[in-house]
Amino acid sequence: MKLLPLSCVVLAFTVVHAFRYEDLVEHVDSHQEQYVQVLREWVAVESDSSDVSKRAELHRMMNMTADKLRAMGGDVMLVDVGEQELPDGQMLALPKVVTAQFISNPQKPTVCVYGHVDVQPGKLEDGWATEPYNLTEINGNLYGRGVSDNKAPVLAWIHAVEAYQALNMELPVNVKFIIEGMEETGSNGLDAMIVAQKDTFLGDVDYIIISDCGWLSLRPALTYGTRGNCYFSAEIQGPKQDLHSGVYGGTVIEPMTDLIGILDTLISPTGKILIPGIREAVAPLSDEEWKTYQDIEFDVENFKNKLGVSELMYNNKVDLLAHMWRYPTVSIHGIEGAFSAPGTKTVIPAKVNAKFSIRQVPNLDPAVVEKQVSEYLQAAFARRKSPNKLKVTMLIGAKPWLADTQHGLYEAGKKAVKRVFNVEPDMIREGGTIPVARTFQDVTGKGIIMIPIGGFDDGIHSQNEKISRYNYLEGTKLFIAYLHEVAQIQKSGV
Ligand SMILES: CC(C)C[C@H](N)C(=O)NCC(=O)O
């Protein structure tokens, strides 16, 4: 007599249960300590993509992500996306991109969840109240660098799949993951990977889901647009080394004075971008769009108080939301080479390098903006008749993304939000940038939705970044509910 292998016997007796939301919710609630513990382990990895000295940590983070998905039975790959050239010409390996697939039934629709596990820099001395890489819970909030942007949302998606598996419920749709490690610095290497895998990994994907953003208020939201970003460096080189300002001040034309002078020509004090061609190219605000913003519940006073400022650029809701989401803006981020430590060093820096960015909206084109900005700054510099040398470089050129909210993905999102939170979601745009959103749209032509679970006050990129335990857990339930709802799109043919 031939004996069946044990795995077949187990499979033959495994009972597959129908979708029962209440059981899945109970599973999430009873596993919350495990979810927080995994988040703690992920936050402890300093996966700062902007600091090349932390590259080993970033590689470790990608391996941990792959291990987690593999342990759940996913078909996991670590995709090599090449190298990055550093300013000194050195080449550095990019973190591999993790792809994973959980195919329950090839007849079902397939979603692809995109997320990232790299983070912005975080240092205690920047003013954090707790160690940035040591997850700390205070009053129901989980503090740590990268918790909201984007480690907890990525884990919430993983736990959503895990919950179905744990309860032997068939996944309502096939689920794929693309998790990268360079989002915070422009998603280097990812666009090429998406293009290369258009007909393979992405070939059978029906919908793309991104949860790398936040709510506008305490009300859950669905996001249908992001701004892009053109990120520049403007470097001015003067004398061959730093100089004593007492000994040499008054004799040389100082690079920092030149730099501040040209930076001041970028934007007016009232927020008007002064580079010709940029404001003119922006898609006009339609009446319909104006009405959408008008209908959103948003308390300008609260917003102002949260930021701790006495005045905003705009005092009415529509202008404020429009300038947050659908108009470009210039931000000056920092100056390399400038004296920035406490104390009173009296130096003339020999070389300074400003970093600034211009958020992109429909119908701006980063390639055109690059030319406009370079020519404008070179002309402003030429007017100063300085002997110093200016070099302008665009380091990131990410396009904006805008979705069709009539797509069934959004109706499914509304139903999932209603099930979990018993409210209608805010329909919002996002002022920040997720470079790959537009690439997914252009390359695959598939429907894309952003489903945020981050709170409006999570402080991403800032000191004391957090996500509430509530958002982490309810967010996991939202993703569970969404997988069920998205499966209905196909059935009703929306
Ligand atoms: C709120 C953003 C869309 C979140 C995203 N992870 C991000 O920080 N992108 C980089 C940026 O500068 O906007």
359 within 8 A of 227, measured Cβ to Cβ: yes
Indicate if ligand 1 lies below 6 Å from the C-beta of 149.
yes
Q: Rounded mean pLDDT of 20-36?
A: 98
> What is the architecture, at CATH level 2, of domain 228-283+326-398?
2-Layer Sandwich (3.30)
DSSP state of 433: -
Indicate if ligand 1 lies below 6 Å from the C-beta of 118.
no
Output the CA 420–ligand 1 centroid distance in Å: 26
Distance CA(153)–CA(116), nearest Å, equals 9
Output the CA 107–ligand 1 centroid distance in Å: 35
Mean residue pLDDT across the chain? 95
Q: Which atom of ligand 1 is nearest to the CA of 461?
A: 8
Distance CA(478)–CA(156), nearest Å, equals 9
pLDDT digits (tens, 9 = 90+) for 168-222: 999 999 999 999 999 998 899 999 999 999 999 999 999 999 999 999 999 999 9
- Tell me: pLDDT of 2 over 70: no
Distance CA(97)–CA(79), nearest Å, equals 5
pLDDT value of residue 15: 83
Q: Which residues have a catalytic role annotated?
A: 118, 183
- Substitution site in 50, 145, 149 for ligand 1 pocket (most atoms within 8 Å of beta carbon): 149
pLDDT digits (tens, 9 = 90+) for 104-122: 899 999 999 999 999 999 9
Burial class from Cβ neighbours inside 10 Å (0-12, 13-18, 19+) for residue 369 reads: buried
Indicate if ligand 1 lies below 6 Å from the C-beta of 180.
no
Domain 15-226+400-493 homologous superfamily, CATH: Zn peptidases (3.40.630.10)
* Residue whose entry in the numeric block shows the structure tokens 């790299």: 118
pLDDT digits (tens, 9 = 90+) for 354-400: 999 999 999 999 999 999 999 999 999 999 999 999 999 999 999 99
Nearest CA to 348 out of 357, 340, 356, 338 is that of 338
Indicate if ligand 1 lies below 6 Å from the C-beta of 426.
no
pLDDT value of residue 490: 65
Closest Cα to atom 9, ligand 1: which residue?
433
Output the CA 347–ligand 1 centroid distance in Å: 35
Distance CA(445)–CA(442), nearest Å, equals 6
Domain boundaries, the chain: 15-226+400-493, 228-283+326-398
